[in-house]
Structure 1
Amino acid sequence: MQFDRLRFPIKLTFAIVLALFVGFHFNLETPRWAVMTAAIVAGGTAFVAGGDPWSGALRHRGMLRIIGTFIGCFAAVAIMIATIRAPAVMLLLCCLWAGVCVWLSSLIKVENSYALGLAGYTALIIVVSVNAGNGSPLLAPQFAVERCSEIVIGIVCAILADLLFSPRTIKKEIDREIETLLLDQYKLLQRCVAHDDKEEVDKAWGNLVRRTTALNGMRSHLMMESSRWQKANRRLKALNTLSLTLITQACETFLIQNNRPHYIPPQYRLLFEKEINSLAELHKHLKTLRRVMSAAGSKSTPVTLVSWVGAATHYLLLLKGIHTNSRISRIEADVLSGEVVVKARSAETHHAMINGIRTFVATALGSLFWLYTGWTSGSGCMVMLAVITALAMRVPNPLMMAKDFLYGMTVAIPLGAIWFMFVMPATQQSMLLLSIAMGLMAFVAGIFIQRRQIGTLGAFVGTLNILVLDNPMRFEVNAFLDSALGQVIGCFVALLVILLIRDKSKGRTGRKLLNRFMYAAVSALTTNSARRKENHLPALYQQLFLLLNLFPGDLNKYRLALTLIIAHQRLRSAEIPVNEDLSAWHKQLRHTADRVIASRSDDRRRYYYQRLLSEFETYQQKLLHYNAPMAVAEPVHRLVDVLTRYQNTLIQI
């Protein structure tokens, strides 16, 4: 539809023009901050989304920007008060603050990391701007207050534009996705029961993992949209676990048949050959499956199929409640309060440290060079160094984002020159003409931003910055060239820093993730009822999704990780004999597995890994001694076999 393609450019234009009008109407000292904030909040959200963002996303980003700005302003004032007599120390402390904020932002959720990154470079911008002015630190509090107030105005303008121009709700997309996701889960089970080609099964479950992760991200957007979706949010959170359970049980059915071809009885093979094309058909088919399983009894029914049918039944129950957002029934409440979900710890600690070092080194070297030379473009260069190294580090490809900024800032020079030297001077007698000139630029930029055209966002924001929308406006060509040159050089230096300080943490992170899967499988061996009720599945699949992004195309790593997740789930539900001897061995196995993860050298890691394998041999003998059922001995044997075959992958980087 034509309006859908034009809605975001109109929204961006309205936000920019409104921020411009408010800034000049209330005689703000630097109205460009309000305009740039509206552009960054609205444009940045659309660039990430690849189009008009969902309702609530822009508001969430705006609130994060307000929080980050206030934290950064308080930090800037505190640093300036403490080091008022030592400008070099003051700047280095701001660089250290920026590095620490980037390091911490790399350890938290991506959607919340924006606030910390912003807090880091806001403090540096305030200190740099004060020193670039008249050098009086006494202006820092006034500068911080002005920046906060103008940023809040810009964010309010962006939010008003989002509310006025038909924000898109994500609820319809969620309703559609949860239906098609369940139907595709059934198709995966069909492939696994029929024991289809391994490559096809890998492709199917990998796609379902990505879609389940994306659905969980949609849940976050839904909660940003409105608090009235609280009940749907609870159901979607449980639905995430159920979807991952369906993937796990289907893949376990496939793996078991590698060693036991007759694991699936013929009557179940016939039942799962039926094609299902709608939820109504699936609902009827699940009823048939439950009746057949009840009549056949637990001994002749594969346990993975029983688990899959149970999870699919709960999925259908929650699906109806998500559609209607109705009151949670007693049966649903039992499903929702079944298990305690354990959150995943970040595996990117080394990557986070590299990010923090990059930001600190880039800004510190820039500060010292600026202080030593007194370079007039130094302040603009410092600002770009801080912004790029703070924001680019958390994206999947920091180098590409740095190039995007460099291309954009290069284009901003001729574009800004046309507006600064010809268009803007002709609009000084009329607010209407000024609004038309800025609105036209915003509208064209909005069309390219929602297409994710490389360099567009950087060019738009860079142009707004070098136009120097001050009150009153002064058209000084030297100041314009200084600002434009500083921006480009800052982007180039940031690109060099990313190239020179290489991030070699990919292999380390991959090994850490695989070791965590191994530890999860080992820690599932417990008779502690509280530990057995902990739901690690969402955390494990979150780490699996990170592994998929780190090593695209490496099927062996995915299979190993999935096999360990399956082992964890099977051992978690296995009826392990309860006695003190086995409990002591469970504790010993967890301790040794933890030492494998904690070891820093390959030799120590290999030593503890071999010790873990030998302890497992002893543990299997104890299971035979205590007459453990086949439902316990078999998954333990499969786990030991996997750990033995893949020990080099799990030990080496």
Structure 2
Amino acid sequence: MNSQTFLRMRFACKLTFAILGALVFGFYLQLETPRWSAMTAAIVAAGPAMVAGGEPFAGAIRHRGILRVIGTFIGCIAAIAIVMTFARAPALMLLVCCLWAGFCTWWSSIVRVENSYALGLAGYTALIIVVLASSNLSETPQFAVERCSEIVVGICAAIVADLLFSPRSIKKDIDRAVDQLMIDQFKLLKLSVNQADKEEIDKAWNMLVKSTTAVNGMRGSLMMESSRWQRVNRRMKALHSLSLSMITQACETFIIMQTTPELVPEEIRLLVNEPVENQHDVRQRLKRLRQIGNALPAENIALPLYSWIGSASRALLMIKGIHTNGSISSTENNVLNTEVVVKPASAEMHHALINGLRTFVASAAGCLLWLWTGWTAGSGVIVIIAVITSLAMRTPNPRMMAMDFMVGMLAAIPLGSLLYTVIMPATQQSLFLLLLSLGIFIFICGIEVQKRRLGVLGLLVGSINILVLSNPMTFNISTFLDNASGQAIGCIIALVVLAVIRDKSRDKTGRTLLNRFVSSAVSALTTKAYRRRENHLPALYHQLNQLLVLFPNDIGKYRLALQLIIAHQRLKLAEVPVNEELSAFHKKIRNTADHVVSSQRESKREYYYQRLLKEMSEYQQKLVEYDAPPKVTEPVRRLCDLLHNYQRAFLQ
């Protein structure tokens, strides 16, 4: 048995133990609907495995469970508040619940991805409680307490299962990834110095950006695992910024080599071209590069190349600390406290609005169907609609997520029928046989969910839902058929709403991102010390990743965005003459650039953009008047040319 098979088997055992444990605890505590505990354990444990394509790292299940508890409590409080306010107007009460679900989905679309889960839950939890308590609204607080109890039981079972079945630590993967990161940085520098083909540079740069982003993502998983990795977390955060700086400096070296190749001395070229296979080679090569860089006059070596050597030295210092998790030295502390990282603002406001609208319309359609037909399973339709639309919206492909649920829910009907009509009635005299029959099914789903099979997650959740596991257990065929058909119809309605309300925000989001690159490049024009300490690179590359996702085949947009990132870094290091007139001009230019980003109408955006071009032209003349050195005037001229040549891309 190879390691991958072992990990898949281990997670399948973990998932089986979590769901069955939640079910047993639910029966033992005499909860009214233990299936909610089992469903919670299934979603909390299987969701991260579906996303990761394998066993999730230690802490991921615990973190997701905590978010689920937070979201459930917020949703319960919202449900009680809505019932207390609109109890005398049931239709209006349901409408407000749908609005609440849409609002939470909108909010979850503009916050950090790892925190959006709690908001999505807060939205549909309120709707579930109000719908289930609609027959007797005075029992809403009791429903809320029971809901919270069931959720907590399911989460506790998932966390205990994760701890018992040897949680998978991410630390070894981090150690390997940071070592490979430095080797890839040297390869990119080699391509830049040797003036490789643009396609080859683009490929190496793209892969390195993805690797840097992946390493930074591991940082979150590591902190979920244990608080003892605090020092490693700080170093990885600094390494992320240093790695992005090195990528930018290597690409700028490539640009400089096209016009002034003499700024890259021959001895550095020869040294960079030597093969680098491991960390020992990296350290030796960097040591010799530092010796050559210190021996040469500053004007004989390109500034980006010199900066790259310094960034690489600091990155190696961080990597050594990541491996050892030792105490932070004074030298490391200086590196960690050098800059203030600026968090990126969301550019997906229109996309978030569409997501919220989809959730509201789908939930309202389910409520209308329920009120119009009076169908007993109508509440199940609403619940499934709310769950799918709330959780699917934050995924890169919401329609595919809804399709996964629909396929799984349809497949759950025949499988659930077999369990409900044949297997479960035969095991009523023995809890062991009941758990064994369910455990075999859950174990198989645990294997397949790690392979990202279409419909497996929906099959697992849908089957648990339609079995109506209750205390005491009853077998009512009409209730079963209502639940099964209700969740299938709910999936279909959600998918139809996603197809009808199309998300056409891609071009608008892409233009906003490009304009933010312009604004960031312009914001580097400053003489304020505190502004120069701001590190915008993580935010810029985060936006660049969004651009890659939105336009996977548009290499022109990537190159344009990268040139603006390079311009930002170059202007940040430029020694702009310090005087009040230029400081006032900087503020004026930044204000105009902000208006370009925030303008909604095309005519207004074009007006501010032309005004920005005019102000940048005037700024160039001001720099000449104040005898600014070429290290300042040259990058400003390059930025002006860039803004002038590509204004159509920024405006349309």
For the superposition of Structure 1 and Structure 2, which TM-score range results when normalised by the shorter chain?
A: over 0.9
Q: 1:51 to 1:491 in 2, by over 3 A?
A: same
Does 2:524 match 1:524?
yes
Matched, 1:508 2:511: no
Paired position in structure 1 for 2:538: 538
- How far apart, CA to CA, are the structure 2 residues paired with 1:205 and 1:325? 29
Distance 2:308 2:62 in 1: 39
Structure 1 contact 88–368 (Cα < 8 Å) conserved: no
State the AA in 2 paired with 1:361: V
1:12 maps to which residue? Answer: 15
Specify the code of the residue in structure 2 equivalent to 1:78.
A
Counterpart of 2:115? 112
Scaled by the length of structure 2, the TM-score of the pair is 0.98
- What is residue 27 of structure 1 aligned with on the other side? 30
1:394 is paired with a residue whose SS is coil
* Number of positions where the alignment pairs a residue of Structure 1 with one of Structure 2: 649
Paired with 1:516 and 1:250, the residues of 2 have a C-alpha distance of: 23
Q: Would you say 1:87 and 2:87 are equivalent positions?
A: no
Work out whether residues 263 and 300 of structure 2, in 8 Å CA contact, stay in contact via their aligned partners in 1. Answer: no
Match of 1:319 in 2: 319
> Which residues of 2 match residues 378-397 of structure 1 at below 5 A?
378-397=378-397
Matching residue's letter, 2:58: S
* 2: CA distance, partners of 1:398 / 1:364: 19
Distance 2:24 2:590 in 1: 63
Letter of the 1:89 partner, please give it.
L
In structure 1, distance between residues paired with 2:506 and 2:352: 12
Q: How high is the TM-score relative to the length of structure 1?
A: 0.98
1:248-267 CA deviation, whole Å, 9 max, x = no partner? 00001112223334442333
SS in structure 1 of the partner of residue 300 of structure 2: coil
String of CA shifts for 1:3-59, please: whole Å, max 9, x gaps. Answer: 222011111111112112111122221111111111111111211111110000000
Distance 2:270 2:625 in 1: 40
Counterpart position of 1:638: 638
205-214 or 608-617, which deviates more = 608-617
Residue number among 97, 100, 123 corresponding to 1:97 in the alignment: 100
Paired residue for 1:462?
Answer: 462
Compare 570-579 and 365-374 and name the one that shifted more: 365-374
- Cα distance in 1, alignment partners of residues 229 and 61 from structure 2: 18
* More divergent stretch after superposition (230-239 vs 609-618): 609-618
1: distance between equivalents of 2:611 and 2:519? 14
Secondary structure at 1:108 match in 2: coil
Q: Give the aligned partner of residue 46 of structure 1.
A: 49
Deviates more, 1:529-538 or 1:24-33: 24-33
CA offset digits 1:142-164 (Å, max 9, x no partner) = 11111111110111001111111
Q: Deviations over 1:404-462 (max 9, x none)?
A: 01100000000000000000101111111111111111101111111110000001100
Between 256-265 and 166-175, the greater mean CA deviation after superposition: 256-265
Once the two structures are superposed, the pairs formed by residues 352-501 of structure 1 within 5 Å of their partners are 352-501=352-501
Greater CA drift, 574-583 or 560-569: 574-583
Q: Report what 2:59 is aligned to.
A: 56
In 2, Cα distance between the equivalents of 1:644 and 1:88?
Answer: 56
Asked if the contact 2:37/2:154 (under 8 Å) is kept, the reply is yes
- Asked if 1:126 is matched to 2:114, the reply is no
Q: Verify the 8 A CA contact 2:239 2:318 in the aligned structure 1.
A: yes
In 2: Cα distance, 1:302 partner to 1:245 partner: 15
Partner of 1:343, secondary structure, is coil
Give how far 1:616 is off.
Answer: 1.4
Misfit runs of 4+, over 6 Å: none
Separation of aligned partners in 2, 1:49 and 1:266: 46
SS in 1 for 2:133: helix
Aligned to 2:233: 233
* In 2: Cα distance, 1:47 partner to 1:270 partner: 47
Alignment match, 2:306: 306
CA–CA distance in structure 1, aligned partners of residues 260 and 335 of structure 2: 33
- Partner amino acid for 1:20? L
| Counterpart for residue 332 of structure 1 | 332
Aligned-partner Cα distance in 2 for 1:280–1:79: 63
| Preserved CA contact (<8 Å) 1:16 1:438 | no
Q: What value does the CA root-mean-square deviation take over the aligned residues?
A: 1.0
Matched, 1:266 2:266: yes
Following the alignment from structure 1 to structure 2, what is the Cα–Cα distance between the partners of residues 40 and 599?
A: 41
Query: What residue identity is the alignment partner of 2:479?
Result: A
Once the two structures are TM-superposed, the CA of residue 278 in structure 1 deviates from its matched residue by 1.6
* Contact residue 71 and residue 121 of structure 2 kept, 8 A: yes
Please report how far the alpha carbon of residue 552 of structure 1 lies from its aligned counterpart in structure 2 after TM superposition.
Answer: 0.4
Which residue of the partner structure matches residue 170 of structure 2?
A: 170
| Aligned amino acid, residue 633 of structure 1 | T
**2:157 aligned partner:** 157
Q: Is the deviation greater in 526-535 or in 606-615?
A: 606-615
For 1:522 and 1:22, the matched residues in 2 are separated by 59
How many angstroms apart in 2 are the aligned matches of 1:535 and 1:46?
34
In structure 2, how many angstroms separate the alpha carbons of the residues matched to 1:223 and 1:105? 22
Preserved contact between residue 341 and residue 536 of structure 2 (Cα < 8 Å) = yes
Tell me if structure 1 keeps the 8 A contact 2:385–2:494.
yes
Q: Match of 2:220, as an amino acid? A: S
> 1: distance between equivalents of 2:97 and 2:129?
10
Matching residue's letter, 1:68: G
On the 8 A contact 2:182/2:282 being kept in 1, the answer is no
Unaligned runs of 5+ in 2: none
| 1:212 partner letter | T
Indicate conservation of the 8 Å contact 1:76/1:126, yes or no. Answer: yes
